[in-house]
Chain A
Amino acid sequence: MSQVLMAHGGGGELTRQLLVERVLPRLANPLLNPLLDSAILERPSGRVCLTTDSFVVQPLFFPGGDIGRLAVCGTVNDLTCLGARPLGLSLALILEEGLELETLERVIDSLARTAEEAGVPIITGDTKVIERQRGDGILINTTGIGVLPEGLDLRPARINAGDLVILTGVPAEHGLAILSVREGLGFETALASDAAPLNGLAAPLLALPGLRFMRDPTRGGVAGVLADLVEETGLSVEIEERALPLSPIVRHASEMLGLDPLNVANEGKLVIVIAPADASTALARLRAHPLGRHAAIIGQIKPSTPPLAELITAIGGRRIIQRPMAEATPRIC
């Protein structure tokens, strides 16, 4: 038996075997091990944060990551952005009939490694099987629970004109890496996805009183977060193209595909807004972390009517930045 069968989702002996032999040993931890109907956590001090995300990725494996790694990073990072310390994740697997068990194991292995990297255990889970339907092989939902330290309030309402905008590293790597495995594009790149859990990177910033806001620029790219900022604060944002930490390879790959790197997805970056007084400290702490080596101050919040996100281009001209309309589609021509 090397493939997932409908019976693996039936709740009988096969289900138990699948879990006990293939899934659980890879995820073992004290909270999960009792395999109760629910995970039991001690009541934390502070407020509780809850977030959920579903993962549908094709192909399942790509340079720098896979659906398992994304499923941990996405949810951990959503908690991280609010300043919450993640306590645990639930894991719901929806498997397609016919999926190679070996593929499942690879995904779970990666998921387990990423959970360990983040220091966040999988504390409860569920597995179902759906009929073969040219689906995605594996769909994953993770829900994350976290605790928000007393007094921490990271909401756009606290942003002021004059605050600085930090990007924690080179943008667009995830989206470009995914495109390189898209069928029919004939695009190869040395780039790998940046998918990474960011709780460790963000943790040393939480004590800074000037920290106002963090968001991970996933599908809408950095441009999407800047557009959010403008909408949610009614203020303007001015970004300096020359300050963007763009690596030559990202620049060229984007240029080649006709994409604006600000519009391309990331899975391991944060856009941070911080008061000027704390910006140097924040930058130093970010750069001391392996995931923040290329962190840079890329711009500033401005008072302005009408509220706009603008880019000062490399040659000193101005243009506006908008949320991309749809998924960035390449144009090789």
Chain B
Amino acid sequence: MKATLDALQRDAEGLGELRLMEVCGTHTVALFRTGVRDLLPSNVRLISGPGCPVCVTSQGYIDAAIEAAASGEVTLCTYGDMLRVPGQRGSLEALKARGARVVVCYSIRDALKYAQAHPKEQVMFLAVGFETTTPASALAVLEAARLGLERFTILSGHKLVMPAIEALLADPQADLHGFLLPGHVSVILGASPYRPLVDEHGLACVIAGFEPQQLIDGVARLVAQIKAGAPALENVYRAAVRPDGNPHARAITQQVFVAEDTEWRAMGVIPNSGLALRDEYAHFDAFKRFSLSLGADYDPPGCLCGQVIQGRVQPPQCPHFGKGCTLTQPIGPCMVSSEGTCAAWFKYARRA
């Protein structure tokens, strides 16, 4: 590890500021938690992109979910991180305290089990997440169909990584030199979908896992590519990421979902960047079943989350960071979510 760090230091020397983006919330957290950020050369800047599933979810979706829970019509099942995201009518956590049926799940399988055990309740699962989490939602829908779970639905907020990266790069202000590409998303996707980042945008690209050595290797390879002036698509997470990814998982997703234009927090509607249930599975589509529509997207007043997820603002630049906005009193989703960029800075790097 020492040798890699030394080589990284040498390679980075004299290259000016190198702006590298990670687009996976677990990378964001691991880079802080393991102390890797602290060991990088001073001219290597890691910028967190739209990698936290809760943070990139538009406020319209959050408000629709909260509305559904408040109606009393449904039992809302959700991953824990969604619980505290503030919406127009407070958070799900606050609704739960007032008696709304909100069930925290570790896996969508928990929601299925709940639906089986409570056949009279309308059980709605908040299905958010990127390519790694989507096949699980697809499997749950297939399973619900097989079991005849009439009252099970999902509110799909699933999103795709590449369209968001493309959208970021379409901004002429985006001044990036490379991407540390996500580990588990790539386990599903394989490497090829990232090709355009190298071929069309000339950016350095490395797929990496989550352990310190993986993270350091990833950054070291990025810097080496930049130094050599030879951007490429590399994979240092070969133990888990096959060139073709996991075709089974993709086929399952394909069977149930279809790409659609989707609104992201602050990034607007990005073409073919989200996943909706196919017509055959419309029965399990909470939007259709309950005639829900997405309201307007907005950031909580004064919150810069929309800028943070695009890497345009670093959390300490937000005037609320560590003052009005803390882990106990979060203002925006980037502080609420365990994978949020503001939360990671607050937990591991707030030194004042």
Knowing A184-B110, A258-B338, A330-B106, the reply to whether A318 touches B38 (Cβ < 8 A) is yes
**B35 & A317 in contact (Cβ 8 Å cutoff):** yes
Chain A residue contacts of B38, Cβ below 8 A: 313, 317-319
Residue of B nearest to A332 (CB): B106
Residue of B nearest to A241 (CB): B35
**A331 & B35 in contact (Cβ 8 Å cutoff):** no
Chain B residue contacts of A318, Cβ below 8 A: 35, 38
Chain B residue contacts of A161, Cβ below 8 A: none
Chain B residue contacts of A317, Cβ below 8 A: 34-39
Q: Does B281 contact A (CB under 8 A)?
A: no
**B39 & A308 in contact (Cβ 8 Å cutoff):** no
Knowing A306-B351, A331-B338, the reply to whether A319 touches B106 (Cβ < 8 A) is no
**A312 & B35 in contact (Cβ 8 Å cutoff):** yes
**B212 & A315 in contact (Cβ 8 Å cutoff):** yes
**B328 & A319 in contact (Cβ 8 Å cutoff):** no
Interface string of B212-240 (1 = CB under 8 A from A): 10001000000000000000000000000
Q: Does A320 contact B (CB under 8 A)?
A: yes
**A185 & B106 in contact (Cβ 8 Å cutoff):** yes
Q: Does A314 contact B (CB under 8 A)?
A: yes
Chain A residue contacts of B212, Cβ below 8 A: 313-315
Alpha-carbon distance between A318 and B351 when the two chains are bound, in angstroms:
11
**A308 & B80 in contact (Cβ 8 Å cutoff):** no
**A313 & B106 in contact (Cβ 8 Å cutoff):** no
Alpha-carbon distance between A317 and B33 when the two chains are bound, in angstroms:
9
Knowing A315-B1, A333-B79, A333-B106, the reply to whether A320 touches B35 (Cβ < 8 A) is no
Number of residues on chain B facing chain A (CB within 8 A) = 28
Of B14-22, B139-147, B201-209, B342-350, the stretch lying at the interface with chain A is B342-350
Q: Does A30 contact B (CB under 8 A)?
A: no
Q: Does B192 contact A (CB under 8 A)?
A: no
Q: Does B327 contact A (CB under 8 A)?
A: yes
**A320 & B106 in contact (Cβ 8 Å cutoff):** no
A134: min CB distance to chain B, Å = 15
**A320 & B352 in contact (Cβ 8 Å cutoff):** no
**A319 & B79 in contact (Cβ 8 Å cutoff):** no
Q: Does B107 contact A (CB under 8 A)?
A: yes
Interface string of A152-196 (1 = CB under 8 A from B): 000000000000000000000000000000001110000000000
Alpha-carbon distance between A185 and B79 when the two chains are bound, in angstroms:
13
**B80 & A313 in contact (Cβ 8 Å cutoff):** no
Alpha-carbon distance between A174 and B34 when the two chains are bound, in angstroms:
24
**A315 & B39 in contact (Cβ 8 Å cutoff):** yes
**A331 & B39 in contact (Cβ 8 Å cutoff):** no
Q: Does A329 contact B (CB under 8 A)?
A: yes
**A316 & B39 in contact (Cβ 8 Å cutoff):** yes
**B35 & A319 in contact (Cβ 8 Å cutoff):** yes
Chain B residue contacts of A313, Cβ below 8 A: 33-35, 38, 212
A16: min CB distance to chain B, Å = 42
Alpha-carbon distance between A308 and B80 when the two chains are bound, in angstroms:
29
A315: min CB distance to chain B, Å = 5
Chain B residue contacts of A319, Cβ below 8 A: 32-33, 35, 38, 348-349
Chain A residue contacts of B36, Cβ below 8 A: 315, 317
Chain B residue contacts of A311, Cβ below 8 A: 35
Q: Does A207 contact B (CB under 8 A)?
A: no
Alpha-carbon distance between A260 and B36 when the two chains are bound, in angstroms:
17
A264: min CB distance to chain B, Å = 15
Q: Does A36 contact B (CB under 8 A)?
A: no
Alpha-carbon distance between A315 and B35 when the two chains are bound, in angstroms:
7
Q: Does A325 contact B (CB under 8 A)?
A: yes
Knowing A319-B35, A325-B328, the reply to whether A184 touches B106 (Cβ < 8 A) is yes
Interface string of A249-263 (1 = CB under 8 A from B): 000000000101000
12 additional contacts (CB under 8 A) given A320-B348, A332-B106: A184-B106, A184-B110, A308-B351, A313-B38, A313-B212, A314-B34, A315-B1, A317-B39, A320-B349, A320-B351, A325-B328, A333-B106
Residues of chain B touching chain A, judged by Cβ–Cβ distance below 8 Å, are: 1, 32-39, 79-81, 104, 106-107, 110, 133, 212, 216, 327-328, 338, 347-352
Q: List 26 A-B contacts (CB under 8 A).
A: A184-B110, A185-B106, A258-B338, A260-B33, A306-B351, A313-B212, A314-B34, A314-B35, A316-B35, A317-B34, A317-B36, A317-B38, A318-B35, A318-B38, A319-B32, A319-B38, A319-B348, A320-B349, A320-B351, A322-B347, A331-B79, A331-B80, A331-B81, A331-B338, A333-B106, A333-B133
8 closest A-B pairs by beta carbon, nearest first, are A317-B35, A313-B35, A317-B38, A332-B106, A319-B348, A325-B327, A315-B212, A317-B39
